[in-house]
Amino acid sequence: MVPLLVGITIVCFVVIHLAPGSPTDLQTDLNPRVSAEAKARLQSLYDLDKPLYTQYLLWVGKLARLDLGESFSPDHRPVIDKILERIPITIIINVLSMALIILIAIPIGVLSAVRQNSLFDKVTAVFVFIGFAVPTFWLALLMMILFGVHLGCLPISGIRSLNYEYLPPFVAVVDLLKHLILPVFLSAFGGLAGLSRYMRSNMLEVIRQDYIMTARAKGLSERVVIYKHALRNALLPVITILGLSIPGLIGGSVIFETIFAIPGMGQLFYMSVMARDYPVVMGILFIGAILTLVGNLVADVSYAVADPRIRIT
């Protein structure tokens, strides 16, 4: 864990320093009357004249206090504030996506494995293949056209309607959910194909095991054999896969939040990239990596909890 954390900070540091020129050029380049001495003072104010490893250590110290600097945009707010006010929405959408992936992909995978080579299996195999190849942002556009423009039944931007404050509480909640349907579904779409295929191959492997034959020989009903014995064993590696798909979900949120104008971390990232607001970009890069690390840690712990054979760090 710790070496990963250190490695993440090193990679972030290297990426920041890829920028040509010095950060103080922004304030001094356009003013020809700035003397060399003033530039040197500015450099030492920001510790830019110290050797790289010292700069790195100072920066890590700031990171530990969650001081990610100030935004370059006109409001100069601390980066950490800007990120924290947008993280909840992104996390909610990603958690809902993951729940949707689990709810849909696992039953599909199990059924495909149990009825191997049946019509269901073949049809889902085709869907999975297409699902791997579909550019999800294109699917988002098509669904926006279908549901938003032609049918007009689902909202296609933001997370609240314009008259949000005037709606009674129950309708307000429904309104929020309606806004979330398309983004969550599309965010989950990519992971659905992968997970259902993985689940299928896992189940196929488990069903061929000896203990399944034993269970059947014991006279247990097929349902108990599949859902109690086979499924539990096949589910375990799925936890790891879910952990591995977290970076994909977080990265995908950039596209969906931009398309659907959702005020989350992904949209902030995109806007900062377009505005070349480097402190915010770096801050979100770092936070994104940390979120992935946390997600993988949770996946590892859940795996240890679920599988009694694995109880080591």
Q: Binding residues for another protein, per CB under 8 A?
A: 3-4, 7-8, 11, 15-16, 18-19, 129-130, 132-135, 137-139, 141-142, 144-145, 149, 244, 247-248, 250-252, 254-255, 258-259, 269-270, 272-274, 276, 278, 281-282, 284-285, 288-289, 292-293, 296
Cβ at position 185, least distance to another protein in Å: 17
Measured from the CB atom, the residue of 34 and 244 that comes closer to another protein is 244
Closest CA to 252 of 211, 297, 191: 191
Measured from the CB atom, the residue of 185 and 278 that comes closer to another protein is 278
Half-sphere exposure of 76 (CA within 13 A, CB side): 0
Are the C-beta atoms of residues 196 and 109 closer than 8 Å to each other?
A: yes
Measured from the CB atom, the residue of 144 and 235 that comes closer to another protein is 144
Instruction: Please name the residues in contact with 236: beta carbons below 8 A apart, sequence gap of 6 or more.
Output: 303, 306, 307
Q: Environment class of residue 73 by beta-carbon count within 10 Å: exposed (0-12), middle (13-18) or buried (19+)?
A: middle
Measured from the CB atom, the residue of 16 and 172 that comes closer to another protein is 16
Measured from the CB atom, the residue of 114 and 254 that comes closer to another protein is 254
The three-class DSSP label of residue 296 is helix
Spell out a b/e string for 101-128, using b for 16 or more CB atoms within 10 Å of the CB, else e.
bbebbbebbbbbbbeeeeeebeebeeeb
Cβ at position 38, least distance to another protein in Å: 26
Cβ at position 187, least distance to another protein in Å: 13
Cβ at position 201, least distance to another protein in Å: 13
Cβ at position 247, least distance to another protein in Å: 4
